[in-house]
């Protein structure tokens, strides 16, 4: 019924912009930003190391079909990380709040 969506962005400014858009458009109930994560990956044949901001996006499963394309549209990366992790259990009160926040 609910999911945690993860994406990384290039800086705090982009994190703020994405967070505010997704919450104001009621695609996310809450977005938590974890600054200064260090990512190591291969891109176009080269090993890359980058400082990024990790966004933890709390949403309902019924919003995913609109949320994922919206992240792609707003994101500065050519291929943004978008991972969906199902929430199997959680605080009843918090899950109720997520649901109410997305209406």
- The model's confidence at residue 15, banded by pLDDT at 50, 70 and 90, is very high
pTM: 0.96
Q: Percent of the chain scored above 70 by pLDDT? A: 100
Class of domain 2-101: alpha beta
Please report the DSSP string for the chain in residue order.
Answer: -EEEEEEEESSHHHHHHHHHHHHHTTS-SEEEEEEEEEEEEEETTEEEEEEEEEEEEEEEGGGHHHHHHHHHHH-SSSS---EEEEE----HHHHHHHHHHT-
Average pLDDT, the chain: 97
Q: Using one digit for the tens of pLDDT, what is the confidence trace for 17-53?
A: 999 999 999 999 999 999 999 999 999 999 999 999 9
Domain parsing of the chain, residue ranges: 2-101
């Amino acid at each position: 019924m609910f999911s945690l969506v993860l994406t990384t962005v290039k800086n705090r400014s982009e994190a703020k912009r994405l967070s505010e858009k997704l919450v104001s458009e009621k695609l996310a109930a809450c977005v938590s930003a974890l600054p200064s994560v260090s990512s190591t990956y291969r891109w176009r044949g080269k090993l890359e190391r980058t400082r990024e901001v990790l966004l933890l996006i709390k949403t309902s499963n019924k919003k995913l079909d609109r949320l994922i394309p919206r992240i792609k549209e707003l994101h500065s990366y050519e291929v943004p990380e978008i991972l969906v992790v199902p929430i199997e259990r959680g605080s009843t009160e918090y899950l109720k709040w997520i649901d109410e926040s997305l209406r």
